[in-house]
Structure 1
């Protein structure tokens, strides 16, 4: 019975430390593939410094709105792909909060756009769309840890 109690405590602790955001700012990659080819996918951040979004300027047309997420835009215009990574002032992380999904739009003149926002961790706008969010890995790790706790308790006691 005690091992079940310890298991619940460990899962709760791991959940809290992986989901509670104690910072009020996020750091994002800021670049454009038309000026730096390493900004495209696959992303190579060797020439791009990560930017603290709290240092980004206020927007004239959105007073008192601060960036709280990262953004990645993938655009195809007349057959040419362009990538933009930056801090995001507005939007929601993915569809219904799931960062693996992005808004996609098509238009006339052979234009396609994919707009992804995220706030799960610093530099989250480096990933390709469709990657597994970090919280899933934390949950899997916590489950594996809980599964092994009875063995550890038996060995220590």
Structure 2
């Protein structure tokens, strides 16, 4: 039981430590590459060369106006342009104090309707649906208790 009392606080601490490395996001658009659409299977061996993880901090300088108080994040957006559904994945920037998963406001053109937009802040999180870090870290102590 003593091992568990040390293990749980360490896991909880890991949840709140901000990683020092920049976030890397999948970057693609389904109008240019149909495999970017859902389901997004970047890890499959037959199409892994078609996608790349972009270092979002490498191009932050020219894009977001309040860089001293911003952070990079990954974004997945579904937008109808002239009636065609386009799924795009890439980088975006948010205020440092913004912990929501909503996208920063973006303007829609006359023939554009955004139906879904979500952000996340860890490597590759704008790809396929996966178990998030939080759920995995919370499940670890429960798994230990079950298999004790």
Give the superposition deviation at 1:108: 8.1
> TM-score scaled to structure 1, two decimals?
0.69
Indicate the structure with greater helix content: 1
Give CA-to-partner distance per residue, 1:88-129, whole Å, 9 cap, x none.
11268x9x64x5x779xx99868342111001x20101134x
Counterpart for residue 50 of structure 1: 53
SS of 1:124's partner is: coil
In structure 2, how many angstroms separate the alpha carbons of the residues matched to 1:48 and 1:145? 36
Matched, 1:7 2:4: yes
> How has the CA–CA distance of structure 1 residues 10 and 26 changed in structure 2, closer, same or farther, with 3 Å as cutoff?
same
Match of 1:26? Answer: 23
Q: CA RMSD in A?
A: 3.4
* Equivalence for 1:155: none
Gapped regions of structure 1 (runs ≥ 5):
152-157
Measured in 1, the distance between the counterparts of 2:126 and 2:112 equals 25
Q: Match for residue 82 of structure 1?
A: 86
Q: State how far apart, in whole Å, the 1-side matches of 2:6 and 2:55 are.
A: 34
Match of 1:70 among 68, 74, 80: 74
User: Highest CA radius of gyration, 1 or 2?
Assistant: 1
Distance in 1 between residues matched to 2:58 and 2:103, nearest whole Å: 26
